[in-house]
Structure 1
Amino acid sequence: MVKATSRGGGRPGTVRPIRRLGDPVLRTACDPVRTFDAALARLVDDMFVTMYEAEGAGLAANQIGVGLRLFVYDCNDDKDRRHVGHVVNPVLVEAGGGTLVEAEGCLSVPGLRFDTPRHARAVVEGVDVKGRPVRVEGTGYFARCLQHECGHLDGGVYIDVLDGDARRAAMRAIREAARPS
C-alpha cells in the first residue's frame, strides 16, 4: 500500500528489498507465525523501516520475501486519525459499510495506481509479536489498507480485485511499465 509521505523517523531495523509483481512469493499464501521470539520482533522492525523508506502505508511480510502471515501499517482513517501497528496471523473477520472506489497503489507495483473497489469498513483480528490478541477496526483509507495487506498474505495483489475494463487497463499499464525504455 502506497501513501504520499514517510513518517518513520529513526525507528530501529534494516531496510529490506521489496519484491515486485512477478515474484512467486507474492502469489503464494503465507504460513501462520508459530514462533514468537526476538527474530519476529526484528522482522516487524525491519518491515516498518522498509515501509517508511518506500513511503508506504502498509507492508506484508511476503513483500520482503518472508512467507509469514504478518503485516505492518501506518495510515489514517476517514476521520484523519492515524493508526500505527502490526498484526500477526491476521484474519479479515468483517468487511462492509458500502463500497469505495479510489486510487490505490502498491509497493510491489511501484509507480502505478488504479481505481480499486474496497469496503468502507474492515475488521481484522490476530495477535501481536508477543502473541496477545488484537482487533483492529478501520474505516475509509485505513479499511482499504487492512483489506490490501490481508490480500497479500493470501497470495493476492490489489489488481486481483479489479474486473472487466479496469483490470484489462491495469494489466496493460503494468506490461508497459515493465518494458525496457
Structure 2
Amino acid sequence: MWSRPFVRARKPVGDCEQMRLSPTARIARSSHRHRNLHSLLVRAAVGFSKTSTVPKDLVTPKATPKVSQVQWTAPLKIVHYPDPRLRAINATISVFDESLLALAKDMIRVMYEDDGVGLAAPQVGVNVRLMVFNPYGRERPGKESILVNPEVVAVGGGRWTDQEGCLSFPGLQSPVERYRDVVVKAQDEKGQTVSLKLGGTDDAGMWLSRIFQHEYDHLQGILFHDRMRPAALAPIRPGLVELEERFAAAHPGVKIQRVGEPPAPAKASKGF
C-alpha cells in the first residue's frame, strides 16, 4: 500500500484521519531489542464472524518457491505500476536473520517517507512474502507490525467498500470492495507463529483488516485496481494508462500487463 488517502471521507482524500483502536480490540505487543519495531496482534472482540471457505485468490500458492536468504539493495525505493515485479511470484521466507530485519526496517522507513500506513516487499522490488504496516502512520512510530509469510485462513462479515490509494500508484484513489473480517496466520521477524483476527464492527478493526488485505494482495500479485468495479475503475483508467506509457518509455522492451488485459502466468522475478 498504501498511501493514507482515505478513511470514510471524514477528511479529504489524501489526508487520512488518524484512527484510534477501539476499547473492544485487544492489542498485544511483543517488543525486542529493536525498540522501534513491534508485532501488533489485534483481536477484534465485537461483531467478528468468519466463514470456512477462503476464496481461491486469497490462498497462498502451493508452488511458492522458498528463499533461504533475502537479497536486497539499500536504499529501497517504491516500485510503480506497471513494473512486472508487482505481478511476480513472491517467495516464502525460510531464514529469519539480521538481513530480514534490516529489510523490514528499511521498508518502514520508505513507508513513512511516502506517508503510507502499509507496504509489501514487492512494492520495493523485493519478491518475498513480507509486509509491514502501522495503522496510525508516521505520527505514531513504534506501532509497526511485521508479518512474514502471512496466510489467510478464514474470511467473513460480508463485504464493504471504501476509498483506497496505493504507494505504487501515485495520485490514484478509488473505491475497493474488501471482506470485513479476516483471520490470518503468519510469522513475526523472529520466525515465531502469530495469529490475528482483523475486522469486527468497530472502525479501527475494519481499518486494520483493509490495510492487511491490500498488502496481502500485493503478495498474491493482485493490485488494487484488479478488485475495482467498472464504475470505480473508469475514473482512474487514464491515470493507469499514463503510468503504463511512462514505464514503457523508460523501459523499452519490458513486457507489462496493461489495464484490462488478462493476466499472464506469474513468474519469479529476475529484475530487468
TM-score (norm 1): 0.84
Amino acid at match of 1:124: V
Q: Give the Å deviation of 1:74.
A: 0.5
Mean CA deviation greater in 168-177 or 65-74: 168-177
Q: Report the residue type matching 2:231 in the other structure.
A: D
Match of residue 23 from structure 1: 83
Indicate conservation of the 8 Å contact 1:148/1:158, yes or no. yes
**Alpha-carbon distance in 1 for matches of 2:116, 2:232:** 23
Q: Distance in 2 between matches of 1:55 and 1:24?
A: 24
| Deviation for aligned residue 1:176 | 4.5
In 2, the alpha carbon distance for the partners of 1:125 and 1:47 equals 21
Matched ranges for 1:148-167 at <5 A: 148-167=214-233
Structure 2 residue ranges without an equivalent (≥5): 5-14, 19-35, 38-73, 137-141, 200-205, 247-272
Look up the SS of the partner of 2:172 in the other structure: strand
Question: Are 1:145 and 2:181 matched, yes or no?
Answer: no
Please tell me whether the aligned partners of residues 15 and 47 of structure 1 are also in contact (alpha carbons under 8 angstroms).
no
Identity %: 34
Number of aligned residue pairs: give it.
171
CA contact (8 A) 1:92 1:147 kept: no
Scaled by the length of structure 2, the TM-score of the pair is 0.58
Which structure has the bigger radius of gyration? 2
Question: Residue 144 of structure 1 aligns to a residue in which SS?
Answer: helix
CA distance in 2: counterparts of 1:22 and 1:178, whole angstroms: 6
1:119 Cα deviation from its structure 2 partner: 1.0
Structure 2 distance, partners of 1:83, 1:89, is 20
Q: Is the 8 A contact 2:81 2:244 kept in 1?
A: no
Runs of 4+ in 1 over 4 A off after TM superposition: 176-180
CA–CA distance in structure 2, aligned partners of residues 94 and 170 of structure 1: 31
Contact 1:89 1:126 in 2 (8 A): yes
- Deviation, 1:177, is 6.2
Question: Per the alignment, in what secondary structure is the counterpart of residue 109 of structure 1?
Answer: coil
- Tell me how far apart the structure 2 counterparts of residues 150 and 131 of structure 1 sit (CA, whole Å): 18
